[in-house]
Amino acid sequence: SQTIHQWPATLVQPVGSPLSLECTVEGTSNPNLYWYRQAAGRGLQLLFYSVGIGQISSEVPQNLSASRPQDRQFILSSKKLLLSDSGFYLCAWRRTGSSEKLFFGSGTQLSVL
Amino acid sequence: DAKTTQPPSMDCAEGRAANLPCNHSTISGNEYVYWYRQIHSQGPQYIIHGLKNNETNEMASLIITEDRKSSTLILPHATLRDTAVYYCIVRVGLRRGGNKLTFGTGTQLKVEL
């Protein structure tokens, strides 16, 4: 069966510090991978998606970047965090086919102080 | 993108059916309607999806109107564990392949004794 791992669960970082959030998927190959962010009381905003190794598309301009160094690894990064980067970050993967469901990780609660 | 409109909140008595409405009047003919739910501080969980016909699975039923401009998610016997935010989403194609699921603010369903 397929599983998605996302860590850490919570993170408190000072403004201006770097960020690296990692997501890995097991049990599938060549998944489509996604990073979403959810601000407090808001819906989920798609940040990045990837259809393959080294292929990253950004949905909104921001202070963050993403990379996909391996087929089942998706990394969200920042060189210098802003207060506005605080939020709940979710990694997700999609299985292609007729049932194109998104499977989400457990999320990372990031607080930038 | 086809937008969806949902009531911000609903209450339901435990054991009764919960009927969650969604309007998607600008939906295109080949766009699917997806429903997810998010329990506080967790990743969203897939519930059901459909195109034209009504659908049923072990979690819920999805009723789509004949003109496809609205749908209703039905939880036949709501329990306290069904308390969550429910998202109605229309699938949209992305520029570089894959698909984007745009999550709005959803409906906060509160199931009470």
* Average confidence score pLDDT of chain B: 89
Q: What is the DSSP string of A30-76?
A: S-EEEEEEE-TTS-EEEEEEEEETTEEEESS--S-EEEEEETTEEEE
Q: Phi/psi at A35 (nearest 5 deg)?
A: -115, 125
What is the rounded CA–CA span in Å between residue A81 and residue A14?
7
The Cα of A92 is separated from the nearest Cα of chain B by a number of Å equal to 9
Tell me the mean pLDDT in the region A34-50: 88
Q: Is B59 on the interface with A (CB under 8 A)?
A: no
Q: A2-31, pLDDT tens digit by residue?
A: 789 999 999 999 999 999 999 999 988 888
A49/B100 Cβ within 8 A: yes
- Look at A104 and B44 and tell me if their CB atoms are within 8 Å: yes
For the stretch A72-92, pLDDT in tens is: 999 999 999 999 999 999 999
Q: Write out the H or E segment, with its range, that includes residue B37.
A: strand B33-38
> A25, A2 in Cβ contact below 8 A?
yes
